[in-house]
Amino acid sequence: MMRTVAEPITPTVESVDRALRLLQELAQHGSGATLSDLASSTGLPKSSLHRTLGALQERGFAMQRDDGHYLLGPETLRLAFGFHDRLDLRVLLRPALERLRASVNETVHVGVLDGASVVYVDKLESTRSLSLTSTIGGRNPAHTTAVGKALLAWTYPTEMAIAGWIDRYGPLVRRTPKTIVEPGGLARELARIRSEGFAKDLEESEPGVRCIAAAVFYGGATPTAAISISAPRERLPHGAMSGAAALLIRETSGVADP
């Protein structure tokens, strides 16, 4: 068998790696760091750090205060926020959806919160029969769905916050006999979601259909989206929810903050 010889690390690659390490280190110092601090934390010689910092400053990725402390530069934020504004959730989350459907062979959704509603931005159908009213671009009342409740739980993380949301968008509509429409009941359910890490829809949006969902965080404390698994009641009994939720949480955590 022919052995593959590893390519040597070139000086160019070393300099790129040094710059990336330095950016990661600067990100840990919101108030800035001295050259000595950076040398101590990275193990790099001050002469190399000084040259790298100079290159980063020239491109706007680092800046230096009058007291000599170095910080991340405005170009770093511009790129990060620009990317976030143009982020295509379908592209980002589609691999997770495909893995989930392959694992459980049930319908999976991606939803985002828009006022009182959850809007579905992607969906992969189960190969087994399941008729759902959800469509890409379609809406459902957020409090009736697992996707919506997963988003509400962290977008409005206190009783006062969710009470304000209900005051603005209420009263809570009843989609099925099992829909939670009492404000206190919804607040308690959202607290459970924050504690356990996933939301449940126990036929609260459509009779005979159950869902579980977990929020996706990308760049902040407020969720960007949520992913759900939907199945007929008989294919998602209470006993199966914990296992499916663990799989769902693992997938949503895998696309969390880069």
Percent pLDDT > 70 in the chain is: 89
Return the structure tokens found at 149: 């409740």
Are 26 and 106 members of one domain? no
Domain C-terminal end among 46, 68, 83: 83
Q: Judge contact between 229 and 245, C-beta under 8 A.
A: no
Can you give the CATH number for the domain in which 59 is found?
1.10.10.10
> Which residues is 232 bridged to in the sheet?
209
Does the residue 5 lie in any domain? no
Does the residue 129 lie in any domain? yes
- Give the chain's domain count: 2
Are 94 and 139 members of one domain? yes
Backbone angles phi, psi at 197, to 5 degrees: 90, 0
Which structural domain, as residue segments, surrounds residue 160?
A: 87-254
Query: Which 8-state DSSP code applies to residue 1?
Result: -
pLDDT over threshold 90, residue 188? yes
Are 58 and 118 members of one domain? no
Does the residue 147 lie in any domain? yes
Overall average pLDDT of the 2-21 stretch: 65
Quick one: which H or E segment has residue 76? helix 74-85
Can you give the CATH number for the domain in which 191 is found?
3.30.450.40
Give Cβ neighbours of residue 241 (< 8 Å, ≥ 6 apart).
200, 212
pTM: 0.69
pLDDT over threshold 60, residue 122? yes
Are 73 and 95 members of one domain? no
Domain C-terminal end among 35, 58, 83: 83
Are 36 and 94 members of one domain? no
Q: Which amino acid is it at 239?
A: G
Look over the chain and give the mean of its residue pLDDT values, rounded to a whole number: 88
Q: Judge contact between 58 and 24, C-beta under 8 A.
A: no
- Could you give the angle at the alpha carbon of 225 between the alpha carbons of 221 and 229, nearest 5°? 125
Which pLDDT tens digit goes with each residue over 26-70?
988 888 899 999 999 888 899 889 899 999 999 998 999 989 999
pLDDT over threshold 80, residue 83? no
